[in-house]
Every structure is written in structure tokens, then in C-alpha cells.
């Protein structure tokens, strides 16, 4: 059976597609290779996937409903993992229409393709940012917490995707699972994320800007754990008409200063830190309660930040050394 993975040239999409291919599944990847961050990294990921015989990449914009429907219909697709999106909280402040196209029109286009194509399970990416700004009070955020209040435009579009999916599941009956990912990191990660940007600056000897005066905390989740969660959900669809939301996180939030400390150790260099206030759209903390996913799949995160960051750094040294043609 062929699985469609949208955003397959992206960070998480590449890791998901690769795991499926290693398990012997055929995968069709869809990605627009947009220039939100270095497209050379997306090309590198796509080349890695292309070394697997069962992989095919279609370079296309998901916000093209006719094309998405044709792909799903013509290949008899029954499972879709929809990860393509315009990511990034800060970028959304100045570029709202990129989010409208990829996250709203794009999600709708995938929903229409699944509805008309007879897809049996749509698994799609949501985000911990939908929970909004809440302090760490000793317990993780739960999927059924009543106050879900996004503060950034990015988060608002992700919450909108959940609502669109909910209505499509109940109107048209095809099962869907929305996954709220918590700060995903790892090899081949995203250059726009803090741990990646800090790495580049620390190694160049440039200062790093530490937002929220360093008092933020994030539930950093290693990419292999995210893949475990996604594929565990994929084979456990809700019943017809069902729409379920699951957190996928590490469930051990780490303070920003501790993350920088671990990064300095992995890099063997000290950072020059400039403390800055919180940025608009940012939240103080994230913390996943993963009991719902654990009950469904036995999900248990395996890689803590102290082990995962050195794995990222090992990869980054090869990437920075010119693996993708960079100086």
C-alpha cells in the first residue's frame, strides 16, 4: 500500500517517509520546496529519500485541490500523512498570507482530496502552540483542556486545521487524527529553530539572542520519537466519522538556559548571550501530557535532550562541512 506524505522534503516529513520506506512501504512525497529556509537542505533530504526504490517525489503546491485529488485518486491512496505547512511562529507576524495558503487553503485541499478519494485515515500535523501561553504548573497540557487559545497567527491556523478536520470527519465520515507536536529537533532539522540557529552562531563566535530573558521552557522532542508517535497513530485510526487529537511530546520540559548549556557542551564552545524580552507570539512554556497517545499505542519517548542534541550536532558538522555544497 502506498502512503502519501506531504511535506516530505521537510524535516519531520523526511524522517517519516524514510522510516516507512525502511519498513518496506511505498511512499509518494509531495513538497513545494519553498524558500522559507535553505532549499538546498530540502533537496538534500529529497535526494536521501530518492535512494529508496519505493519513493516518488511530486513537486507541487498542496493548495491545488485538483492536483491533490488526482494524486490520491490515481494511486488508490488509503493513508495520508499531511505534514506540509508554513511553520514558524515569528515569521507569521510579517507573512500572514503564506499561512493562509499553505495551512488553511492547503489543509482544505488535502481534506477534499481525502474525502473524494476514499482515504481511510488522514493523519495531520497540528502544534503545541494551539495551547497558547500558560505557565508550567506541574502538569502537562492535555488534549481535552478546555482553554485552547492560540496567541500567534501560526497557532491560529493550526487550530483552524483541527476545526476543519473535525467538521470534515463528522460530515463525510472519514477518520482523522490530528497530532500536536512539541518542539521537534534532531539531525536534518530546521535552520529557523533556536537550537539550529544557536549552533551556527556559537560556532561562528557570534552572540545569540536569548528571548524571554532565558525563562522559557520547551518540551523538546527528538525526531525519532515523533516518528514513533506518528506511525503508531497511523495504524490506529478512529472509527468512521471519528476525529481524535493526540499530543506527541517528550513530556520532560527543559528550560532555555539548560538547553543552551547542553548545546555548549555538545559543541565544546561557550555562547555569547544577549538577553532579550519575550517576542510577540511566543509562549512561556510547553509541556505535553502524553497519556492519551500512550494508551493508544504504548508510546514512550526514548531520547532525552542531553542525548539528542549531540546527535544533531554530529549531523550539523557534516552539513556545515559542505555535504550539500555549502562552503
- Cα–Cα nearest to 160, from 223, 95, 106, 93: 106
How many residues lie near ligand NAD (CB under 6 A)?
A: 29
| Comparison of 185 and 268: residue with beta carbon closer to ligand NAD | 185
| Comparison of 17 and 62: residue with beta carbon closer to ligand NAD | 62
Q: Which residue is nearest to ligand NAD (CB)?
A: 10
* Residue 34 contacts ligand NAD per CB under 6 A: yes
What are the percentages of helix, strand and coil residues in the chain, rounded to 5?
Answer: 45, 15, 35
Can you tell me the distance from the alpha carbon of 195 to that of 185, in angstroms, rounded to the nearest whole number?
A: 8
Q: Residue 70 is placed in which grid cell?
A: 488526482
Q: Report how far Cα 32 is from the mean position of its chain's Cα atoms.
A: 16
Active-site entry in 37, 91, 99, 154: 154
| Comparison of 61 and 258: residue with beta carbon closer to ligand NAD | 61
Binding track over 171-190 against ligand NAD, x by CB under 6 A: ----------x-xx-----x
**Long-range contacts from 37-44, C-beta under 8 angstroms, 24+ separation:** 37/190, 37/191, 37/192, 38/191, 40/324, 40/325, 40/326, 41/188, 41/191, 41/319, 41/324, 42/9, 42/10, 43/9, 43/324, 44/188, 44/319, 44/323, 44/324
| Comparison of 65 and 241: residue with beta carbon closer to ligand NAD | 65
Q: Is residue 124 annotated as a catalytic residue, yes or no?
A: no
> Which of 6-14, 196-204, 253-261, 280-288 is the region at the interface with ligand NAD (rule: CB under 6 A)?
6-14
* Residue 84 contacts ligand NAD per CB under 6 A: yes
Cα angle, residue 89 at apex, residues 83 and 94 outer, rounded to 5°? 115
* Residue 301 contacts ligand NAD per CB under 6 A: no
* Residue 260 contacts ligand NAD per CB under 6 A: no
* Residue 233 contacts ligand NAD per CB under 6 A: no
Task: Out of 3, 4, 5, 10, point to the residue binding ligand NAD (CB under 6 A).
Answer: 10
> Which of 78-86, 138-146, 199-207, 306-314 is the region at the interface with ligand NAD (rule: CB under 6 A)?
78-86
Using CB under 6 A, which residues numbered 101 to 130 contact ligand NAD?
101-102, 106, 125, 127
* Residue 225 contacts ligand NAD per CB under 6 A: no
Quote the least distance from Cβ 8 to ligand NAD, whole Å. 7
Quote the least distance from Cβ 120 to ligand NAD, whole Å. 21
Binding track over 36-55 against ligand NAD, x by CB under 6 A: ------x-------------
- Cα–Cα nearest to 23, from 45, 2, 44, 42: 2
Task: Out of 11, 196, 198, 211, point to the residue binding ligand NAD (CB under 6 A).
Answer: 11
Can you tell me the distance from the alpha carbon of 55 to that of 238, in angstroms, rounded to the nearest whole number?
A: 27
Q: Report how far Cα 188 is from the mean position of its chain's Cα atoms.
A: 13
- φ, ψ of residue 205 to 5 degrees: the values are 80, 15
DSSP H or E run through 62: none
Crossing angle for the helix pair 194-204 and 305-318, nearest 10 degrees? Answer: 60
Cβ 183 vs Cβ 220: under 8 Å: yes
Residues that bind ligand NAD (CB under 6 A): 7, 9-13, 30-34, 42, 61-63, 83-87, 101-102, 106, 125, 127, 181, 183-184, 190
Supply the residues annotated as catalytic: 154
Amino acid at each position: 500500500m502506498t502512503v502519501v506524505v506531504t511535506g516530505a522534503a521537510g524535516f519531520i516529513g523526511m524522517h517519516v517517509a524514510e522510516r516507512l520506506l525502511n519498513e518496506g512501504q511505498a511512499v509518494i512525497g509531495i513538497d513545494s520546496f519553498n524558500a522559507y529556509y535553505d532549499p538546498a537542505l530540502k533537496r538534500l533530504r529529497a535526494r536521501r529519500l530518492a535512494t529508496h526504490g519505493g519513493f516518488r517525489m511530486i513537486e507541487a503546491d498542496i493548495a491545488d485541490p485538483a492536483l491533490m485529488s488526482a494524486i490520491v485518486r490515481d494511486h488508490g491512496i488509503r493513508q495520508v500523512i499531511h505534514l506540509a505547512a508554513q511553520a514558524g511562529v515569528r515569521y507569521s507576524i510579517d507573512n500572514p498570507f503564506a499561512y493562509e495558503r499553505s495551512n488553511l487553503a492547503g489543509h482544505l485541499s488535502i481534506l477534499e482530496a481525502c474525502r473524494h478519494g476514499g482515504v481511510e485515515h488522514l493523519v495531520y500535523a497540528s502544534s503545541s502552540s494551539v495551547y497558547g501561553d500558560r505557565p508550567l504548573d506541574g502538569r502537562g497540557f492535555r488534549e481535552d483542556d478546555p482553554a485552547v487559545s492560540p496567541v500567534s497567527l501560526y497557532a491560529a491556523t493550526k487550530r483552524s486545521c483541527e476545526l476543519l478536520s473535525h467538521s470534515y470527519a463528522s460530515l463525510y465520515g472519514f477518520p482523522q487524527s490530528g497530532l500536536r507536536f512539541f518542539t521537534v529537533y534532531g539531525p536534518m532539522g530546521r535552520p529557523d529553530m533556536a537550537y539550529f540557529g544557536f549552533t551556527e552562531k556559537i560556532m561562528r563566535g557570534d552572540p545569540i539572542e536569548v528571548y524571554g530573558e532565558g525563562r522559557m521552557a520547551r518540551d523538546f522532542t527528538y525526531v525519532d520519537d515523533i516518528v514513533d508517535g506518528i506511525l503508531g497513530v497511523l495504524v490506529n485510526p478512529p472509527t468512521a466519522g471519528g476525529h481524535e487529537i493526540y499530543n506527541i511530546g517528550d513530556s520532560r520540559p527543559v528550560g532555555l538556559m539548560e538547553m543552551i548549556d547542553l548545546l555548549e557542551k555538545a559543541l565544546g564552545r561557550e555562547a555569547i548571550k544577549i538577553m532579550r524580552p519575550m517576542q510577540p507570539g511566543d509562549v512561556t512554556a510547553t509541556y505535553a501530557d502524553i497519556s492519551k497517545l500512550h494508551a493508544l499505542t504504548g508510546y514512550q519517548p526514548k531520547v532525552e535532550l542531553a542525548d539528542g542534541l549531540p546527535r544533531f550536532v554530529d549531523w550539523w558538522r557534516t552539513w556545515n562541512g559542505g555535504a550539500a555544497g555549502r562552503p
